[in-house]
């Protein structure tokens, strides 16, 4: 497959790129800088502003799937409106470029916990992550109103960090997945496995899924 991946240089995006090329897919690593997460013959860096529908349309033309690991702005300002605006441009470019599917990295904060509340509203949720969680929740709400693209949002566990690729994890829907001790975690490497599985299989169109051990 040909995959255009936005946010390919970040912690999660770079692992998605590595997993995709490991499986033999061609990846265009799109970023403002045009940097590539790592050298590989199947990975081509491209300088693309995700906030420009015109640039996105040109970059994604001919792709099978567009993937995005973009994150909300982390400059101390409220990221919600800029993040939604960024994705409006990105999705407009995907439409113009003629790509029918988009798979995005979502947030964990809007996953539900016991009682039906969201994780970000549960006691103990780190306040420093709340604005980012709200931005991802807004994006999910916007995606749920999209009817002309086969989108999928992939939320991680409550804790995600670099680790090992085991290939063993669970996939859920809107509820936070926890283990027998109540912990919710996944390595970035295994999250990338699940993300590329969704790219390949398209098993959850117009839905949010989550990934955890």
pLDDT digits (tens, 9 = 90+) for 22-65: 999 999 999 988 887 777 899 999 999 999 999 999 999 999 99
How many Å from the N-terminal Cα to the C-terminal Cα in the chain? 28
Distance from C-alpha of 11 to C-alpha of 127, rounded to nearest angstrom: 21
Side-chain half-sphere CA neighbours of 63 within 13 A: 31
Using an 8 Å Cβ cutoff, are 136 and 160 in contact? Answer: no
- According to DSSP, the β-strands at 26-31 and 43-47 are parallel
**What percent helix, strand, coil does the chain show, rounded to 5?**
35, 25, 40
| CA angle (20 as vertex; 143, 88 as ends), nearest 5 | 25
User: Which residues make Cβ contacts (< 8 Å) with residue 198, sequence separation at least 6?
Assistant: 103, 152, 154, 204, 209
- Percentage of the chain beyond pLDDT 90 is 92
- pTM equals 0.96
Q: What are phi and psi of 5, to 5 degrees?
A: -115, 120
pLDDT one-digit tens code per residue, 148-203: 999 999 999 999 999 999 999 999 999 999 999 999 999 999 999 999 999 999 99
- 3-state SS, residue 196: helix
Phi, psi for 159 (deg, rounded to 5): -120, 125
């Amino acid at each position: 497959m040909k995959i255009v991946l936005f946010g390919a240089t970040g912690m999660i995006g770079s692992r998605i790129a590595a997993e995709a090329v490991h499986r033999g897919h061609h990846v265009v690593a799109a970023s403002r800088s045009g940097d590539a997460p790592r050298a590989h013959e199947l990975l081509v860096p491209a300088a693309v502003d995700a906030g420009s529908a015109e640039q996105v349309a040109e970059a994604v033309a001919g792709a099978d799937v567009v993937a995005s690991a973009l994150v909300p702005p982390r400059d101390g300002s409220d990221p919600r409106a800029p993040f939604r605006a960024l994705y409006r441009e990105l999705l407009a470019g995907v439409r113009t470029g003629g790509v029918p599917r988009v798979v995005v990295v979502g947030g964990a904060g809007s996953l539900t916990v016991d009682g039906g509340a969201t994780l970000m509203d549960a006691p103990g949720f780190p306040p420093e992550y709340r604005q980012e969680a709200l931005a991802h929740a807004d994006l999910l709400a916007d995606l749920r109103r999209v009817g002309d693209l086969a989108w999928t949002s992939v939320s991680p566990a409550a804790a995600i960090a670099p680790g090992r690729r085991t290939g063993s994890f669970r996939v859920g829907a809107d509820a936070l997945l926890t283990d027998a001790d109540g912990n919710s975690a996944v390595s970035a490497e295994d999250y990338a496995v699940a993300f590329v599985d969704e790219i390949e299989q398209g098993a959850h169109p117009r839905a949010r899924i989550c990934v955890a051990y």
